[in-house]
Chains A and B, each alone.
Chain A
Amino acid sequence: MTERKKLLLLPLLALLILSVFWLPVAAADGALDAEGKEIADEWEAFCGAIPDEVADLLPSDFFSKDMTAVGESVREAGALRTIFRAVGEVSGVALLQSLSLLAKICGILVLSATFRTAVGEGKGEVGAAVSLCTALAIVLMIFSGEGTRFDKIESFFDTVRALSVALLPLMGTLYAMGGNVGAAVANHGVMSGFLAILETLCSGAVVPIAGVCVALALLDAVSGRVALQSLAALIKRTFTVGLSFCMMLLTFVLGLQQTLAKGADTLALRTARFAAGSFLPVVGGSVSESLRTVAGSVEYLRGAVGMGGVLVVFFVFLPTFLGALFTRLAFSLSASAAGLLACRREERLLSELASVWGYFLAVIAVLFVMTVFSLTLLARCAAAV
């Protein structure tokens, strides 16, 4: 090849490399703004999926299109004081609702115990009929609010699904921007699996299984002769173990594939950077430098989006988790009170309800761990460039 042809090819090659790495070059000029604009639509879609009650807990800049402002607001929202204030507010509301439930149940238990005290324990079948009546009243009183509580759990699953759906393109874009194409593919695959599990196992099965367990507990409490508690416990345990296993598998595959894909992406892009730096003496050096700038801004964006996502997920999970925790406590306390007042039928029913809420807690915790793990991987994943 003649010197003239080489001179002609060099600008062409430089143009080609610049077109491949158009993003880094743009970032070198406009720093964070250019990358921020790239994910503005995905960020907006993600912010749109945040429920209003969670949005109230976040700073207004969190919903800005300027990613620098978003980063600052994430830092503000992640401050210990803000977190504790939110926990205080949410736990106050949840505690109040649970105390109201506890008071109502205790009222019925006192009535039942009053009758027992008046006529004597186990004196004939009239006592059993009154006990049945009070057990029914307890169940109805609980379930007059329980329907809405179960609905809240269902709507919580819908919210988590909407958030995950909104996070998927955002995470994919951020992975791809940092050159982690393999990681983006791996993350997308595993998160799609997570969404499928969320759709079928959680939204479709958690509440109906709880309904079956409660129905068995009702039969157990009303008949007083059929021991169905062990069957309900078996159903709950099997489901929780199955779901935990699925989530553990997803977490394992996500961690494994992300680590491998990150390594492969880094190797591929560093080779390209080395080639650019070696074969293009002047332009190649600037490309290499601009890639470092891009890597920094992409990592900043990932940190902001990842930690912002973790905060949103935390605020979404917090009311449901605390609500379930306090409801479980209210049922456990009521069951203890029923035991103290010698209301055996009511005690069995309340213990079973406490165990159903314990099962909800387990499912919520498993989902939280999975979602936070995927977001932490995003936030901690170094750019391949």
Chain B
Amino acid sequence: MGILQVAGIGLIAAMLTLLLRELRASFALPVRLVTTLVLFGAALGLYAPILSRIGALFALGEGAALATAVLRAVGIGLICELSAAFCRDLGEGAVAEGILLFGKLDILLLALPLVDELIEIVGELLK
């Protein structure tokens, strides 16, 4: 999907939402949700080759396991931020905060083995 298509989808969705808000407010929400998901999917389509290339570079440098952890953390972060932004648009600030908290803790959970490994290394250095 090119930038023209993405921009077109975005503009059409924005106008449609504006119209639906006047005519049928309950239809506006699904339109926004579908548009966001489509745009997010398009963005992921662009990220995929970049991430696979970075993953291959990490594998060359014997850091494939670390690359997986970082890529997952980035993915979690992106999903959380987008979902939270969507919730905020709907006026659900508390839900957005809940998602962000979950995402943050999930990333920290993901980082825990790395922290353990790091503490081990620091212990060896200080011996």
Contacts and interface: CB of A to CB of B under 8 A. Distances in A.
Contacts, number: 118
Interface residues of A, number: 41
Given A114-B50, A125-B104, A133-B73, A215 B126 contact: yes
B14 to A, nearest CB: 20
Interface string B14-45: 00000000000000000000000000000100
Interface in B33-74: 43, 47, 50, 54, 57-58, 61-63, 66-67, 69-71, 73-74
Contact of B111 (A133, A147, A207, A215): A133
B63 A111 contact: no
B80 A215 contact: no
Contacts of A108: 66, 70
B74 A136 contact: no
A214 B121 CA distance: 10
B12 interface: no
A133 B81 contact: no
In terms of DSSP, what is the predominant structure of the interface of chain A? helix
A128 B100 CA distance: 12
A137 B78 contact: no
A140 interface: yes
Interface in A135-167: 136-137, 139-141, 143-144, 146-147, 150
A71 to B, nearest CB: 45
A136 B70 CA distance: 9
B114 A119 contact: no
A207 B78 CA distance: 40
A157 B93 CA distance: 60
A248 interface: no
A40 B82 CA distance: 77
Given A208-B125, A211-B125, A134 B63 contact: no
Interface of A: 100, 103-104, 107-108, 110-112, 114-115, 118-119, 123-130, 132-134, 136-137, 139-141, 143-144, 146-147, 150, 207-208, 210-212, 214-215, 218
Interface of B: 43, 47, 50, 54, 57-58, 61-63, 66-67, 69-71, 73-74, 76-78, 80-81, 84, 100, 103-104, 107-108, 110-111, 114-115, 117-118, 121-122, 124-127
27 contacts: A103-B57, A103-B61, A108-B66, A111-B74, A123-B81, A124-B81, A124-B84, A125-B100, A126-B81, A126-B104, A129-B107, A129-B111, A130-B74, A132-B108, A133-B110, A137-B66, A139-B118, A140-B118, A140-B121, A141-B61, A141-B66, A207-B125, A208-B125, A211-B122, A212-B125, A212-B126, A214-B125
